[in-house]
Structure 1
Amino acid sequence: MTRLIVAIDTPDMDRAAELARATDGHVDAIKLGLEFCYARGFDAVAELARDRQLFLDLKLHDIPNTVAGGLRSLAPLAPALVTIHAAGGRAMIGRAREALEQSCVGRERPRLIAVTVLTSLDGHALHEIGVEGTPEEQVLRLGALALDAGADGLVCSPAELPALRRTFGAEPVLVVPGIRPEGADHGDQARVMTPRAAADAGADWIVVGRPITGSADPGDAARRIRAELTA
């Protein structure tokens, strides 16, 4: 069954706590990323994640030793999922996996999820940064590298889900942002899909932000998306 993550992208602790409480029981995890972590620090992350599943979306991308050290420091937060950039390369991904395994002996290890191509990037944007080929080709290229190097799964847009499942099968954990319920504004997402379509295409987790957090009733918005996933 596809699980639902609410993206809590705010620097405000009170607002983040309000959104987490409002969606309790309607989502499977909360996502905290750069905006919240930089503004409030990791004590606040630990407080907000208490008794909740945490998707820690920091997209680490640095030399292997630095990323490994960062993950060892983050391991006490016990996230269910944590992200790195697949573009960091084989050595970085391998050291990241090793650091998590060494830091989590005797308890469940966070799943290491590699970001392939950001959902805000289309073919033209990739060309501008020197990447030839389509977004799907780049996702498959980076996905193969990341999984072979030790990542447990991938972040991808819903558009690449069918190709990823055909290529890599059922084992990789696929985490999918760029989810918009029917009629919702696309915002800065270039490649989007509805919750039901993403589930049918093979998403393990979908990440939904503004359609929930920007709603007058975030709990009800999350409930309706969960209902769509289970319909």
Structure 2
Amino acid sequence: MNTHIDARDRLIVALDVPSAAEAERLVDRMGDQVRFVKVGLELYTVAGPDIVRILVDRGKRVFLDLKFLDIEETVRRATARVAAMGATFLTVHANRKALLAAVQGRGQSNLKLLAVTVLTNFDGEDLRDMGIQRSVRDLVTARAQLAAQVGCDGVVASGEEPAAIRATVGPGLIIVTPGVRPAGTGTDDHARATTPTQTIAAGADYLVIGRPIRDADDPALATAAILAEMQTAFDRRIG
């Protein structure tokens, strides 16, 4: 069985830009080495479903990061609309009713649902401010278990948690990790940032990277360096 992982399939570049035109320019500058992109709240707010369709038509896989959380009927219907756009991943907050509604809404489509466990800018003090007394790791693993139970395909978690998720839930759940920063760069507003090597060694499947590529003088060169580090880490993990 071929167990090779191509890093180009596992890097998700966050298109955190304020217009569709800028998103397309960034995609152009990165070139064919990027196959998977993330559309988040900023870009979706200004460009809407059209940007998803444009990117899909350009042959890109799209991670639509809208973090749905609403009453069941709203989540169910909205998820069905996302599935019709051709997106590959969609995020939903790890609330049982919202997750179940999203599973129903995606129907028989190929849309994969990711439960958001704990945002990467949160730490234990943030959880306590919300009235949650559990540690970040305990809450992440509990929400990963919930995601698996209700039929989600994966979770979004920081690079500090994949090992704990794997120990609790097993190998079948997709783990997507944002807040990944190449060594020597800042963590920005991520409280639990990790490097690509650390993140992959811990067990993550996909890495979401935005500002280190978007803000680079040469996004294509920055992407190539990140892909090289990722490929080495995946090869080492498999070997």
TM-score by length of 2: 0.90
User: What is the Cα deviation at residue 98 of structure 1?
Assistant: 1.8
SS at match of 1:229: helix
- Amino acid corresponding to residue 204 of structure 2 in structure 1: A
For the pair 1:14 / 2:15, whether they are aligned, the reply is no
Equivalent position of 1:119 in the other structure: 120
RMSD: 1.2
Residue 100 (1) aligns with residue 136 (2): no
Identify which of 25, 28, 32 aligns with 1:25.
32
Match of 2:71 in 1: 63
Do residues 85 (structure 1) and 93 (structure 2) align? yes
The one-letter amino acid of 1:67's match is V
Structure 1 segments of 4 or more deviating over 6 A? none
Identity of aligned residues (%): 37
Displacement of 1:198: 0.9
The reply on whether 1:138 has 2:145 as its aligned counterpart is no
Q: Cα distance, 1:152 vs. partner?
A: 0.6
Q: CA deviation at 1:157?
A: 0.4
Written as runs of structure 1 = structure 2, the 5 A alignment for 1:146-225 is: 146-225=147-226
Structure 1: gaps of 5 or more residues: none
Q: Deviations over 1:134-165 (max 9, x none)?
A: 11011011111121011110000001111011
Give the aligned residue type for 2:79.
L
- TM-score of the superposed pair, with normalisation by structure 1: 0.93
Cα distance between partner residues in 2 of 1:28 and 1:178: 19
Q: How many residues align?
A: 224
Q: Give, in whole Å, the separation in 2 of the partners of 1:161 and 1:44.
A: 31
Residue type of the alignment partner of 1:170: P
SS of 2:32 mapped into structure 1: coil
Aligned to 1:74: 82
SS of the residue 1:158 aligns to: coil
Find the aligned partners of 2:205 and 2:164 in 1 and give their Cα distance. Answer: 15
